[in-house]
C-alpha cells in the first residue's frame, strides 16, 4: 500500500467552499482518515490512487482551490511527529470493546 | 538537508488563532515556504530541526491547535503532486531578472 498525505486548501468562508471540503473529505476518509481540518492520511493501492486522484479533481475548483498529494515515507509512524490536538487513530491496532 | 512538511491546524475564527498562525508561518518561512494556507515545506539541518520544533511548540496552543511534522521523501519533487492553485516556488532554480 502507498501511504499518502493529502492537503486541501479551500476557502471555507463560502458555502460552496465548505461543501467542496466536505466532499473531498468524504473521498479521502473512504481510504484513510482526517488528521487535521484539511489534511488527510490515506493508504491506497496503485489502482486506487488513480481513482482517488480523479475523484479529487472532480470535486475541487482548480481556479480557487489547491490540492497537494505527498507520497509519505514508510513506515509512516517513523516519519511523522504530532503536537497538540491529535485526531490520528491507528486503524490497524486491535479495537478493544 | 531534511525536507519537512509542516501542517498547522488552528482556529482562524479567533484573532488569537490568526496571530498564532502568523507567528508559526514566520518561523516556517525562515526555512522554506508556505505552499498552502497552513501547510509549509521547509529544508533544515538536524540542528535547525531541533530549534524549529522548539519555536513551533512555543508559538502553538497545544489545547487548541495541532501541528504535524512529516519528514518527506527525497528528492521532494518526485513525491509530491500539486493540483489547482500552486504557491510553491523552486527557490533553488536560477532567478531570472
Task: Write down the residue that cell numbers 519537512 correspond to.
Answer: B4
Q: What does each of the 97 residues of chain A score in pLDDT, given as a tens digit?
A: 999 999 999 988 899 999 999 999 999 999 899 999 999 999 999 999 999 999 999 999 999 999 999 999 999 999 999 999 887 776 666 666 5
Best CA proximity match to A61, nearest among A4, A23, A5, A88: A23
Q: Rounded to the nearest 5°, which phi and psi values hold at A37?
A: -50, -45
Determine the Cα–Cα distance for residues B30 and B25; give it in Å rounded to an integer.
9
Least reliable range by pLDDT among A12-16, A84-88, B44-48, B49-53: A84-88
Distance between A62 CA and the closest CA of chain B, angstroms: 4
**Considering CB atoms only, which of B60, B73, B86 is closest to A83?**
B60
Strand order in the sheet with A2-9: A32-36, A39-44, A2-9, A66-71, B80-84
Instruction: Using alpha carbons only, give the angle A92, A78, B76 rounded to the nearest 5 degrees.
Output: 115
Q: What is the pLDDT of residue A67?
A: 96
Q: Position of cell 515515507?
A: A73
Residues 6+ apart with CB under 8 A from B97: none
Asked if the Cβ–Cβ distance from B72 to A69 is below 8 Å, we say no
Query: What pTM was computed for the model?
Result: 0.90
Nearest chain A residue (CA) to B7 = A39
Q: Do B36 and A66 touch (CB under 8 A)?
A: yes
First-to-last alpha carbon distance for chain B, in angstroms, is: 28
Task: Tell me the count of A-B CB pairs closer than 8 A.
Answer: 111
Amino acid at each position: 500500500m502507498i501511504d499518502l498525505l493529502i492537503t486541501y486548501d479551500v476557502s471555507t468562508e463560502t458555502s460552496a467552499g465548505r461543501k467542496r471540503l466536505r466532499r473531498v473529505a468524504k473521498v479521502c476518509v473512504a481510504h484513510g482518515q482526517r488528521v487535521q481540518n484539511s489534511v488527510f492520511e490515506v493508504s491506497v493501492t496503485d489502482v486506487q490512487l488513480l481513482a482517488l486522484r480523479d475523484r479529487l479533481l472532480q470535486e475541487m475548483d482548480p481556479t480557487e482551490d489547491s490540492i497537494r498529494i505527498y507520497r509519505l515515507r514508510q513506515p509512516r509512524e517513523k516519519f511523522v511527529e504530532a503536537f497538540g490536538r491529535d485526531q490520528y487513530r491507528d486503524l490497524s491496532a486491535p479495537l478493544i470493546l
